[in-house]
């Protein structure tokens, strides 16, 4: 078995619980039966031994040549999901985001443009793991029964893919499933993940009083650029020079080039770097948001002068981080926490200035990986409420959606700002009492249009940060000076069985319930250090546990994590190879001393649900 198969995530088979059938009819009488059976014979399941494909936070993700049968199965499920949603369009995105070019992935987008409802992931896993064509058709029909779906309901699927060469063949597998199930479809070709989310919501709100935008990628550019221009109703473009955008040699490059055609250069000037989409092996290779964040250094082709403003997108353009070098070539990262604090500060200020401070409350959502200094800044300086959720954007998204205006970002740069219906209504109805109020209100209304409401979107977030810096007349220097990150470190330990590490329910993954001995021991270790925090949790996407720690002094973080790591290895009975990434200055020192190691090959195993 090759190394990729060995690394596939193991998920239990769907439980064999008995659910009464809605239609006790002979399945072979279903008109789709024959067509699906014939079509799926073209896409046999890859032999993965005893390992199952798993649908997780980012759908199925693995080496591309293992995927055709999985994509076919996802097509079947999307067709069922659309029928269940009374014919609303369901989205399918084919991408492996920041993973290497030889990987690919597939995920389903629900009618409002959000991630597919979690309960349905089980059915995706079930279909994807059918061992033979007959088994797949049987599972397909049983899915319809169990999910109480009316087979003849209308169904529609829209889909897109990133720039990976394997995408074309996967689209063929998808189309075969859609044709066999009589599902209407639209192929949007190459697009970013957030563009597909936009298209899904735009399609399903067309003609309603909640119309999201024109149903085309061009409509997406028009919406973003028009809103951007509306935010510029009084202020002028940032005097601090252009923004440099590392597009990870992925889909962000052509899409940003297109977007730039809609934006006048005197208002928005971006210089694109790493745009070689015709050289697939360069995708996410030594560049892109994930690489910059995990390596804590500038990407390939970085040639920034001190204080130049640089950003990196990931391979499907749903994440963004900013960075720059200060005097002495010291690398400084402005990650998701920084974007969250910048956005919360600015939008909070606008709400207050518009006279809506009493009506609209802002909330920020973070995960345990947010730097403690960012949380303190939000609570103490911005005086806003912070909620913590488990890792994974869908958890953050749902929590943010409960706020009037909810700002959410993972430290790695994936996030957005959600405006609730209540907030949008207040923005529409409010009668400003002064020019200052009118200006703030106009900007807020424009931001609610410009910020992608369906999912974190690197292009929309790029415009957001640029608007804020421009309005504040800030350079990266002022942005960085808002607070100082606590020294911190994130490690990964390959334990024998990460499923043994269970966090305390409701603790937002900050405390471990099992193995039982570990948390008391960790508390003992943490208590030795000033303002220290440390937690261990099983990764939801890789076969490892992650250890995160922060404290007042970098040396203490090192010491604390070394002890926790030792104990984790002791308890879990094994270890393989820890690797490390960190955010603070002493990383540079380590680089120079040759102490840093590159992370291992990204794991192609299907992502799993975070616990």
With CA atoms as reference, report the closest residue to 492 among 608, 431, 572: 572
Identify the CA nearest to 40 among candidates 136, 166, 123: 136
Is the CB of 389 or the CB of 420 nearer to ligand GN1? 389
**Dihedral sign (CA 432, 436, 440, 445):** positive
Q: Which stretch binds ligand GN1 (CB under 6 A): 100-108, 390-398, 441-449, 578-586?
A: 390-398
Round to whole Å and give the CA distance between 206 and 215.
8
Q: Characterise 241 by phi-psi region: left (phi > 0), alpha (psi -120 to 50), beta (else).
A: left
296 lines the binding site for ligand GN1 (CB under 6 A): no
Q: Is 410 annotated as a binding residue?
A: yes
- Chain centre distance of CA 279: 24
Bridge partners of 334, per DSSP, are 322
Mask 315-334, x = binds Mg ion (CB under 5 A)? -x-x----------------
Tell me, residue by residue from 90 to 109, as one string, x for binding to Mg ion by CB under 5 A and - for no binding: -------x------------
The residue range among 186-194, 272-280, 386-394, 454-462 that interacts with ligand GN1, by the rule CB under 6 A, is 386-394
Binding flag, residue 373, ligand GN1 (CB under 6 A) = no
The residue within the footprint of ligand GN1, chosen from 412, 420, 442, 519 (CB under 6 A), is 412
Of 97, 139, 312, 572, which is the active-site residue? 97
Residue 345 in the binding site for Mg ion (CB under 5 A):
no
Residue 391 lies near ligand GN1 (rule: CB under 6 A): yes
Spell out a b/e string for 581-601, using b for 16 or more CB atoms within 10 Å of the CB, else e: bbbbebbbeeeeeeebeeeee
Annotation-wise, does 318 bind a ligand? yes
If one asks whether residue 457 binds Mg ion (CB under 5 A), the answer comes out as no
97 is catalytic: yes
Task: Report how far residue 168's alpha carbon sits from residue 281's, in angstroms, rounded to the nearest whole number.
Answer: 16
Q: Interface with ligand GN1 includes 104 (CB under 6 A)?
A: no
Sketch the per residue contact string, 526 through 565, with ligand GN1: x for CB under 6 A, - otherwise.
-------------xxxx---x-------------------
How crowded is residue 490: how many other Cβ atoms within 10 Å of its Cβ? 19
Binding of residue 393 to ligand GN1 (CB under 6 A): yes
Closest CA to 465 of 291, 370, 324, 280: 324
The arrangement of strands across the sheet holding 545-550 comes to 533-538, 545-550, 488-493, 579-582
Establish whether 160 is an annotated binding residue: no
Report the distance separating Cα 142 and Cα 53, nearest Å: 19
Q: Which one of Mg ion, ligand GN1, none interacts with residue 314, CB within 5 to 8 A by kind?
A: Mg ion
Q: Going residue by residue from 15 to 54, which x/- string records binding to ligand GN1, judged by CB under 6 A?
A: ----------------------------------------
Check whether 541 is labelled as a binding-site residue. yes
Pairing status of strand 385-388 against strand 362-366: parallel
Spatial distance between the Cα atoms of 459 and 451, rounded to a whole number of angstroms: 9
Tell me the binding residues for Mg(2+). Answer: 97, 314, 316, 318
Q: Interface with ligand GN1 by CB under 6 A: which residues? A: 57-58, 369, 391-393, 410, 412, 539-542, 546, 610
Tell me the binding residues for substrate. Answer: 410-412, 537-541, 546
Q: Interface with Mg ion by CB under 5 A: which residues? A: 97, 314, 316, 318
């Amino acid at each position: 078995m090759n190394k990729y198969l060995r690394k596939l995530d193991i998920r239990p088979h769907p439980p064999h619980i008995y659910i009464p059938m809605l239609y006790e009819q002979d399945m072979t009488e279903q008109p789709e039966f024959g067509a699906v059976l014939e079509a799926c014979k073209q896409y046999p399941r890859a032999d993965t031994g005893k390992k199952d494909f798993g649908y997780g936070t980012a759908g199925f993700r693995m080496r591309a040549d293992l995927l055709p049968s999985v994509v076919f199965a996802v097509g079947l499920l999307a067709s069922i999901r659309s029928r269940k949603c009374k014919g609303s369009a369901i989205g399918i995105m084919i991408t492996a985001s920041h993973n290497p070019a030889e990987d690919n992935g597939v995920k389903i987008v629900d009618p409002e443009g959000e991630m597919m409802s979690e309960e349905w992931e089980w059915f995706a896993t079930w279909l994807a793991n059918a061992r033979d064509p007959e088994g797949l058709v049987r599972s397909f029909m049983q899915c319809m029964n169990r999910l109480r779906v009316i087979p003849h309901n209308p169904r529609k699927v829209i889909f897109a893919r990133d720039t990976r060469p394997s995408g074309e063949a996967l689209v063929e597998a998808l189309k075969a499933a859609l044709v066999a199930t009589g599902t209407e479809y639209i192929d949007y070709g190459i697009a970013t993940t957030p563009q597909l989310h936009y298209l899904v919501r735009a399609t399903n709100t067309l003609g309603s009083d909640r119309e999201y935008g024109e149903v085309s990628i061009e409509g997406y550019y028009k919406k973003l650029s028009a809103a951007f221009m509306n935010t510029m109703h009084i202020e002028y473009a940032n005097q601090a020079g252009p923004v440099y955008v590392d597009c990870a040699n992925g889909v962000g490059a052509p899409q940003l080039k297109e977007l730039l055609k809609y934006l006048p250069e005197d208002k928005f000037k971006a210089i694109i770097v790493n745009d070689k989409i015709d050289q697939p092996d360069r995708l996410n290779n030594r560049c892109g948001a994930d690489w910059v964040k995990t390596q804590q250094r500038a990407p390939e082709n970085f040639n920034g002068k001190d204080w130049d403003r640089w950003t990196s997108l990931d391979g499907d353009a749903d994440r963004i981080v900013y960075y720059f070098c200060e005097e002495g070539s010291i690398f400084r990262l402005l990650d998701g926490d920084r974007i969250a604090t910048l956005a919360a500060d600015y939008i909070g200020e606008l709400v207050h200035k518009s006279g809506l401070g009493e009506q609209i409350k802002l909330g920020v959502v973070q995960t345990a990986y947010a730097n403690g200094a960012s949380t303190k800044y939000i609570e103490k300086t911005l005086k806003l409420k912070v909620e913590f959720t488990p890792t994974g954007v869908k958890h953050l998204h749902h929590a943010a959606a409960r706020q009037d205006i909810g700002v959410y970002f993972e430290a790695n740069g994936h996030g957005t700002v959600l405006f609730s219906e209540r907030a949008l209504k207040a923005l529409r109805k409010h009668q400003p009492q002064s020019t200052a109020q009118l200006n703030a209100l106009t900007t807020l209304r424009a931001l609610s249009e410009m910020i992608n409401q369906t999912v974190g979107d690197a292009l929309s977030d790029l415009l957001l940060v640029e608007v804020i810096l421009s309005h504040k007349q800030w350079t990266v220097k002022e942005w960085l000076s808002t607070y100082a990150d606590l020294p911190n470190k994130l490690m990964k330990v390959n334990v024998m069985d990460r499923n043994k590490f269970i966090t305390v329910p409701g603790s937002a993954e900050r405390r471990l319930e099992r193995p039982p001995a570990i948390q008391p021991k960790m508390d003992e270790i943490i208590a030795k250090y000033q303002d220290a925090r440390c937690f261990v949790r099983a990764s939801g996407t890789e076969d490892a546990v992650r250890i995160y720690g922060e404290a007042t002094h970098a040396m203490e973080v090192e010491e604390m994590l070394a002890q926790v790591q030792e104990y984790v290895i002791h308890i879990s009975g094994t270890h393989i190879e820890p690797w490390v990434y960190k955010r603070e200055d002493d990383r540079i020192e380590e680089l120079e001393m040759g102490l840093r190691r590159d992370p291992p090959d990204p794991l192609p195993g299907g992502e799993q649900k975070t616990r």
